[in-house]
């Protein structure tokens, strides 16, 4: 039913205020990537040097792409495939732009598929902590909790389903009553809890060592893989490359100033990642457990810390609740593009949300199995991708390949196909110099950086 064009902007809902747009979009950016992802990727790659590369990638590659993706939604006015279809028509280009958007929709489901499993574990841990868990436990008990959780595939699937259900319930509602209200409630609470945890880490943990770890220079191998991870992490953390940001761009009111809104959102996202590092690593160092623990850092290493500190159960509860809030404000942005596309095709919103959440859940069973019975199965080992489970392949494949390549397509569309004056108008960026710089960045710097990175990865 592709005939349903939603170009009539009157039919497209919008967020109620400029501030609402910023909060909700920051909610999409701030997620598991900031807390679970950033700390483990930075820990695994040795801290400081990685953080520096990540910052550069964030500022010069990911942030310009973020603006480009927002604008495509704002100018195209519709779900991602519709928005890109509209824009392609306007430019008269023969290249089928919507293909990029469809690939992005697949990407949203893939990200959701592992997101729900990890967020499900966070819900379960929050409940364990609420029941007084972790405090005074032995390390063995903590290890057993994680091991038992992962040995029980149906249990893991259940919690993933709970998380997808919550996400679908919020997305079922209208934009302002659902997505917007969730962001307005959860984001301030998230900041509050995070500040509390940083203060706690500063008082009870080895704060200076965490600071040196995150911002000091250490020996590291600057391999292409590290570079790919830093760029992949920068894209993932801003939530660009799958159409979630494009969707929110379509919902942005006319009064939103894209440049300054982006500055706020990127700043908040960075702030949360660094603050999460400053909340987690002081405790990790003070207790002597391993900072480079990898994906287990948040569910295995950190809970060991909670066993020994004052008020451990309460601190653990706050931490896991924070993780759940961060995850929900992101997962609703991941579910909304497919739901909007189905709505354009005449589906009712709750039905569309239920269907897409179920799909993401079903694909999520691959991650459930990767954590449990299939943890030794490496599906693409025959291609040289040894040691990677289905979960690893999905996570690394999406963030290191799908996101940067879609980002490349976005900047090429805006930089080379759309009219510069129309772009500037939609951006409502007052500062001409800043606009010129950004336009240069998306025409040259970003494409060259992304292409060079892939060429090095292929032939380096
Ligand atoms: N930005 C989110 C995070 O950091 C993840 C995300 C990816 C959200 C893609 C939307 C789109 O966890």
Residues 6+ apart with CB under 8 A from 299: 121, 125, 146
Question: What is the CA(394)–ligand 1 centre distance, in A?
Answer: 14
Whether the CB of 242 sits within 6 Å of ligand 1: yes
Question: What is the CA(33)–ligand 1 centre distance, in A?
Answer: 6
| Listed residue (216, 249, 278, 218) closest to 34, CA to CA | 278
Probe target for ligand 1 pocket from 26, 244, 271, 406, with the most ligand atoms within 8 Å of CB: 244
Read off the tokens for 198. 């940083």
Probe target for ligand 1 pocket from 24, 30, 33, with the most ligand atoms within 8 Å of CB: 33
Question: What is the CA(233)–ligand 1 centre distance, in A?
Answer: 10
- pLDDT tens string 368-421: 999 988 888 888 888 877 888 999 999 888 888 899 999 999 999 999 999 999
- pLDDT tens string 284-321: 888 877 777 667 788 988 898 889 888 999 999 999 99
- Residue with the smallest CA separation from ligand 1 atom 8 is 239
Q: Which atom from ligand 1 is nearest to the alpha carbon of 32? A: 12
Contact by Cβ (8 Å): 334, 403: no
pLDDT in tens, the chain (460 residues): 333 334 444 479 999 999 999 999 999 999 999 988 888 788 777 778 888 889 999 999 999 999 999 999 999 999 999 999 999 999 999 999 999 999 999 999 999 999 999 999 999 999 999 999 999 999 899 989 999 999 999 999 999 999 999 999 999 999 999 999 999 999 999 999 999 999 999 998 999 998 988 888 766 667 777 887 888 889 999 999 999 999 999 999 989 999 999 999 999 999 999 999 999 889 888 887 777 766 778 898 889 888 988 899 999 999 999 999 999 999 999 999 999 999 999 999 999 999 999 999 999 999 999 998 888 888 888 887 788 899 999 988 888 889 999 999 999 999 999 999 999 989 887 778 989 999 999 999 999 989 988 887 777 6
Read off the tokens for 33. 């990537």
Per-residue exposure over 114-130, b if at least 16 CB sit within 10 Å of its own CB, e if not: bbbbbbbbbbbbbebbe
Question: What is the CA(183)–ligand 1 centre distance, in A?
Answer: 14
CA 47 – CA 271 distance, rounded (Å): 16
Q: Which atom from ligand 1 is nearest to the alpha carbon of 403? A: 9
Whether the CB of 330 sits within 6 Å of ligand 1: yes
Q: pLDDT value at position 5?
A: 36
CA 50 – CA 308 distance, rounded (Å): 30
Torsion of CA 302, 306, 307, 309, to 10 degrees: 130
Whether the CB of 27 sits within 6 Å of ligand 1: no
Give the distance from CA 64 to its chain's centroid: 17
Probe target for ligand 1 pocket from 111, 115, 277, 402, with the most ligand atoms within 8 Å of CB: 111
What is this structure's pTM? 0.92
């Amino acid at each position: 039913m592709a005939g349903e064009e939603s170009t009539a902007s009157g039919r497209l809902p919008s967020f109620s205020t400029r501030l609402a747009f910023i909060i909700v979009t920051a909610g999409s950016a701030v997620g598991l990537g900031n807390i679970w992802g950033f700390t483990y990727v930075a820990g695994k790659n040795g801290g400081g040097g990685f953080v520096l590369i990540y910052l550069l990638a964030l500022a010069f590659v990911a942030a310009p792409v973020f603006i480009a993706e927002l604008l495509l939604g704002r100018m195209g006015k519709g779900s991602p495939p519709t928005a890109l279809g509209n824009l392609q028509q306007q430019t008269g280009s023969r290249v089928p732009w919507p293909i990029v958007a469809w690939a992005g929709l697949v990407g949203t489901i893939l990200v959701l598929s592992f997101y729900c499993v990890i967020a499900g574990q966070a819900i379960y841990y929050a409940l364990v902590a609420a029941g007084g868990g972790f405090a005074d436990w032995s390390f063995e008990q903590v290890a057993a909790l994680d091991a038992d959780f992962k040995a029980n595939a149906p249990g893991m699937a259940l919690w993933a389903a709970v998380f997808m259900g919550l996400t679908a319930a919020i997305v079922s509602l209208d934009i302002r009553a659902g997505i917007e209200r969730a962001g307005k409630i959860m984001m301030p609470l998230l900041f509050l809890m995070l500040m509390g945890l940083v203060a706690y880490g500063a008082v009870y943990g080895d704060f200076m060592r965490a600071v040196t770890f995150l911002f000091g220079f250490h020996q590291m191998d600057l391999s292409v893989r590290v570079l790919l991870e830093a760029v992949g992490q920068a894209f993932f953390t801003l939530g660009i490359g799958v159409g979630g940001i494009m969707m929110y761009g379509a919902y942005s009111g006319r009064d939103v100033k894209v440049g300054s809104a982006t500055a706020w959102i990127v700043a908040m996202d960075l702030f949360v990642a660094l603050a999460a590092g400053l909340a987690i690593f002081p405790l990790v160092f003070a207790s002597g457990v391993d900072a480079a623990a990898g994906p287990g850092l948040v569910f295995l290493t950190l809970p060991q810390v909670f066993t020994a500190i004052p008020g451990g159960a309460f601190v653990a509860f706050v931490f896991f609740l924070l993780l759940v809030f961060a995850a929900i404000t992101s997962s609703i942005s991941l579910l909304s593009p497919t739901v909007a596309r189905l709505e354009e095709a005449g589906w009712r919103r709750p039905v569309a949300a239920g269907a897409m959440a179920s799909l993401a859940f079903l694909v999520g069973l691959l991650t459930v199995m990767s954590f449990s019975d299939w943890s030794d199965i490496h599906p693409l080992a025959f291609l040289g991708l040894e040691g990677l489970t289905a979960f690893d392949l999905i996570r690394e494949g999406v963030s290191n390949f799908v996101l940067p390549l879609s980002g490349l397509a976005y900047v090429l569309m805006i930089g080379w196909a759309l009219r510069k004056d129309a772009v500037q108008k939609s951006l409502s960026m007052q500062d001409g110099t800043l606009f010129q710089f950004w336009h240069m960045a998306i025409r040259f710097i970003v494409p060259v950086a992304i292409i060079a990175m892939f060429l090095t990865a292929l032939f380096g």
